[in-house]
Structure 1
Amino acid sequence: MRLSTAVSDLRALGSSAPLRAAYELSKRSGGHTLLFREVPDRGARSRAIGLGSAVPRSDAARDRCLADAAEILASGVRVFGTRVPTGVHAPWNVDPLSGNVWPESTPWWQIDIRSGARLSDVKWVWEAGRHRDLVVLARASVLDPDGPWLDELHAMLRAWFAQCRPERGVHWYSSLELALRAISWAQVISLLDGEIDADVRARMDHQLVASARHILVELPYTVSSMKNNHLLGDGLGLVVLARMFPDFRGSRRWARIGDALLLKQLSRHMRDDGSMIEDSLSYHRFVMEMLLVRSLLGSVPAEVSRALHGAGRSMRDLGVLDGAVPQFGDWDEGRVLADSSPAGSVAGSTTAALVASGEALGGDHGRYDEVCWYLAPAETPTPAPVDRATPGGAHRRTGGFDVVQHGDWRVWVKTGTGPSHQHADVGSVWIRSRDRWVTEDPGTGTYNGPLNVRNGFRTSAAHPVWRPDGEDQLGPHRAFRWMRGFEPSRVVDEGPGRTTVLSVHAAFVGLGLGRVARVVEVSAEGVLVVDFVEQTGDGTTRWVMNVPRGAHAEGLDLDGVEVTGAKEPFRGWFSPTYGAWEPRPWSACVLDGSAFTWSAGRSRGAVESEGSVSADGRVFQISWREDGVVVDVTGSEDAQRLEIRGA
Structure 2
Amino acid sequence: MKHRGISAVRDQLVTAAEKRFPLRNIVGRLPTTLPQHDQIIAHADRLLAGEWDLFGRPAKAFSRSLDWRSDPVTGAPTAEGHWHRVPYLGTGDGNDVKYLWELNRHRDLVRLAQAYFLSGRAEYSEALADLLDRWMEQNPPGEGINWASSLEVGLRAIGWCWMWYLSHRAPLWTDGRLGHFLWQLWHHGDHVARFDSVHHSPNTHLTGEALSLLYLSHIMPDFHRAARWHQLGCATLQAEVVSQILPDGFHFERSTCYHRYTTEFYLHAALLLADNPNPAQLSDVTEALDRLVVVIAALRRPGLPWPVLGDDDGGRALRLTTAPPADQRSLLACAAAWRNRFDWLPEASVSDGAEAWWLLDDRAWERLALRETTAVAGVPPAVQHEEFPAAGYYLARDGLGPRSWSCLIDAGPHGGDRTGHAHTDLGHVEISGMGIPLVVDPGCSVYSGDPVRRDWFRSEQAHACLVVPGHPLAEPDGPFSWRRTAVTPEVSLEEASGDLWRLQLGYNRLGPNGSMQHCRQVALVAGWGVLVCDWVTGGGGAATPFELRWPLGCAVEPARLGDGSITIGNARLRWWLTSTPGCWAWRTPELRTAVMSPAFGEESPATQLIFPATRVPAAMLFGCSAISAGPASIQWETAVDGTPTACHVQLGRAHPPLRFSARRSRCTRKSNAGVAAARTP
TM over 0.5: yes
Distance in 2, matches of 1:422 and 1:497, equals 32
- The normalised TM-score by structure 1 is 0.84
Contact 1:438–1:555, Cα closer than 8 Å, also in 2: no
Could you say which residue in structure 1 is the equivalent of 2:547? 544
**Is the deviation greater in 318-327 or in 459-468?**
318-327
Distance in 2, matches of 1:461 and 1:429, equals 14
Could you say which residue in structure 1 is the equivalent of 2:622? 595
Contact 1:77–1:84, Cα closer than 8 Å, also in 2: yes
The structure 2 residue matched to 1:359, chosen from 330, 341, 360, is 341
Aligned-pair identity (%): 24
The structure 2 residue matched to 1:517, chosen from 508, 516, 519, is 519
Could you say which residue in structure 1 is the equivalent of 2:531? 528
Deviations 1:196-240, CA, capped at 9 Å, x for gaps: 233222212111111122223323xx1122111001112222222
Could you say which residue in structure 2 is the equivalent of 1:644? none
Contact 2:467–2:549, Cα closer than 8 Å, also in 1: no
Counterpart secondary structure, 1:139 = helix
Could you say which residue in structure 2 is the equivalent of 1:114? 89
Counterpart secondary structure, 2:397 = strand
Distance in 1, matches of 2:610 and 2:223, equals 61
Distance in 2, matches of 1:263 and 1:140, equals 35
The structure 1 residue matched to 2:287, chosen from 290, 300, 306, is 306
How far did residue 611 of structure 1 move? 5.7
- The normalised TM-score by structure 2 is 0.80
Deviations 1:381-438, CA, capped at 9 Å, x for gaps: 2766645964432222244322222373221222224224111112111111121122
Deviations 1:341-385, CA, capped at 9 Å, x for gaps: 231311111222222223246643143321111113555627666
How far did residue 484 of structure 1 move? 2.6
How far did residue 116 of structure 1 move? 4.0
Distance in 2, matches of 1:440 and 1:598, equals 15
Deviations 1:18-50, CA, capped at 9 Å, x for gaps: xxxxxxxxxxxxxxxxxxxxxx99999684654
Contact 1:288–1:308, Cα closer than 8 Å, also in 2: yes
Distance in 2, matches of 1:116 and 1:158, equals 29
CA spacing shift, 1:629–1:218, aligned 2, 3 Å? same
The structure 1 residue matched to 2:661, chosen from 604, 621, 629, is 621
Counterpart secondary structure, 2:662 = strand
Contact 2:471–2:511, Cα closer than 8 Å, also in 1: no
Distance in 2, matches of 1:577 and 1:511, equals 39
Distance in 2, matches of 1:120 and 1:393, equals 46
Counterpart secondary structure, 1:613 = strand
The structure 2 residue matched to 1:204, chosen from 181, 192, 195, is 181
1:481-520 matches, cutoff 5 A: 481-482=481-482, 483-492=484-493, 493-495=495-497, 497-508=499-510, 512-520=514-522
Could you say which residue in structure 2 is the equivalent of 1:25? none
One-letter amino acid of the counterpart of residue 339, structure 2: S
Counterpart secondary structure, 1:452 = helix
One-letter amino acid of the counterpart of residue 412, structure 1: L
Could you say which residue in structure 1 is the equivalent of 2:132? 157
How far did residue 330 of structure 1 move? 0.3
CA spacing shift, 1:311–1:635, aligned 2, 3 Å? closer
Could you say which residue in structure 1 is the equivalent of 2:393? 401
**Is the deviation greater in 426-435 or in 195-204?**
195-204
Contact 1:112–1:118, Cα closer than 8 Å, also in 2: no
Deviations 1:98-146, CA, capped at 9 Å, x for gaps: 122324x522223221224347211101001001221221121122113
Whether 1:135 and 2:110 are equivalent positions in the alignment is yes
1:307-456 matches, cutoff 5 A: 307-319=288-300, 323-343=304-324, 344-360=326-342, 363-376=348-361, 378-379=365-366, 381=368, 386-387=376-377, 390-398=380-388, 399-406=391-398, 408-417=404-413, 418-419=415-416, 420-456=420-456
Deviations 1:441-495, CA, capped at 9 Å, x for gaps: 2111211121111011111110111123332223222111122343333222125
How far did residue 584 of structure 1 move? 1.4
How far did residue 306 of structure 1 move? 0.8
Counterpart secondary structure, 2:520 = strand
Counterpart secondary structure, 1:448 = coil
One-letter amino acid of the counterpart of residue 368, structure 2: P
Could you say which residue in structure 2 is the equivalent of 1:471? 471
Contact 1:65–1:139, Cα closer than 8 Å, also in 2: yes
What 5-or-longer segments of structure 2 have no aligned partner? 555-567, 578-587, 615-619, 651-657
Distance in 1, matches of 2:466 and 2:258, equals 26
CA spacing shift, 1:119–1:51, aligned 2, 3 Å? farther
Contact 1:412–1:430, Cα closer than 8 Å, also in 2: yes
Across the aligned residues of Structure 1 and Structure 2, the Cα RMSD in angstroms comes to 2.9
Contact 2:592–2:610, Cα closer than 8 Å, also in 1: no
Distance in 2, matches of 1:147 and 1:366, equals 29
CA spacing shift, 1:180–1:564, aligned 2, 3 Å? same
Distance in 2, matches of 1:140 and 1:496, equals 49
1:47-196 matches, cutoff 5 A: 47=13, 50-53=20-23, 54-55=25-26, 57=30, 58-85=33-60, 89=64, 90-103=66-79, 105-118=80-93, 120-195=95-170, 196=173
Could you say which residue in structure 2 is the equivalent of 1:574? 596
**Is the deviation greater in 492-501 or in 604-613?**
604-613
Could you say which residue in structure 1 is the equivalent of 2:265? 290
**Is the deviation greater in 81-90 or in 132-141?**
81-90
CA spacing shift, 1:629–1:561, aligned 2, 3 Å? closer
Distance in 1, matches of 2:513 and 2:498, equals 40
How far did residue 338 of structure 1 move? 2.1
How far did residue 193 of structure 1 move? 2.2
How far did residue 158 of structure 1 move? 0.6
Could you say which residue in structure 1 is the equivalent of 2:558? none
One-letter amino acid of the counterpart of residue 490, structure 1: V
**Is the deviation greater in 439-448 or in 478-487?**
478-487
Distance in 1, matches of 2:337 and 2:543, equals 56
CA spacing shift, 1:495–1:59, aligned 2, 3 Å? closer
Could you say which residue in structure 2 is the equivalent of 1:641? none
Deviations 1:36-85, CA, capped at 9 Å, x for gaps: xxxx9999968465454343542533222212211222244442234425
Counterpart secondary structure, 1:533 = strand
Contact 1:498–1:522, Cα closer than 8 Å, also in 2: yes
Counterpart secondary structure, 2:248 = coil
The structure 1 residue matched to 2:645, chosen from 612, 620, 623, is 612
Moved runs in structure 1, 4+ residues, more than 6 A? 40-46
Contact 1:595–1:613, Cα closer than 8 Å, also in 2: no
Distance in 1, matches of 2:252 and 2:223, equals 36
Deviations 1:238-259, CA, capped at 9 Å, x for gaps: 2222223322332222222222
Distance in 1, matches of 2:261 and 2:409, equals 23
Contact 2:94–2:450, Cα closer than 8 Å, also in 1: no
CA spacing shift, 1:78–1:190, aligned 2, 3 Å? same
**Is the deviation greater in 155-164 or in 612-621?**
612-621
CA spacing shift, 1:87–1:358, aligned 2, 3 Å? farther
One-letter amino acid of the counterpart of residue 410, structure 1: S
Could you say which residue in structure 2 is the equivalent of 1:19? none
Distance in 1, matches of 2:469 and 2:663, equals 24
CA spacing shift, 1:170–1:118, aligned 2, 3 Å? farther
Distance in 2, matches of 1:317 and 1:173, equals 36
